[in-house]
Structure 1
């Protein structure tokens, strides 16, 4: 079985990075929901989860920008990131 690259690997594509980060985040949430972690482990897991969430958000923003660029290749300057859902 091939080893998966960690989300921190610099040569991972944004799509692969998103999928790996989302998978790691889902696993982390499952562990936290079981409730068998100490407070220290829970805090460390939460910090890791925030980092994974941010990586996912960045990858999605990059994908959205690519879609805009592909939608109007004649006007690449008109490509702007989509509005954030919390904006």
Structure 2
């Protein structure tokens, strides 16, 4: 499966990537398994990066001027009356 075929949800990709990192950090994988895990990790990392870029573009598109504005939880909630 390539990166663009049926991408898995961001959260699932991130969870799998974290699992791969833990396994590799334990140092108990064979060289072959380590290389396969590394290859899968790179693919997942790229998929996550692409998902984040897409989300950032959507947010930028939804803002009035196309710029991301800092979010201050306390101030923004007071202004919205919550």
- Give the TM-score normalised by structure 1: 0.65
Which of these residues, 6, 9, 15, is aligned with residue 10 of structure 1?
6
- The Cα RMSD (Å) is 2.4
1:26 lines up with 2:18 in the alignment: yes
Contiguous gaps of at least 5 residues in structure 2 = 68-82
Which of these residues, 42, 52, 58, is aligned with residue 60 of structure 1?
52
8 A Cα contact 2:7 2:47, kept in partner:
no
Which of these residues, 22, 34, 37, is aligned with residue 45 of structure 1?
37
Runs of 4+ with >4 A deviation? none
Contiguous gaps of at least 5 residues in structure 1 = 1-6, 81-87
Count of aligned pairs: 65
Q: Give the corresponding residue for 2:71.
A: none
Offset of residue 10 of structure 1: 3.1
Give the structure with higher Rg (CA). 2
Offset of residue 18 of structure 1: 1.2
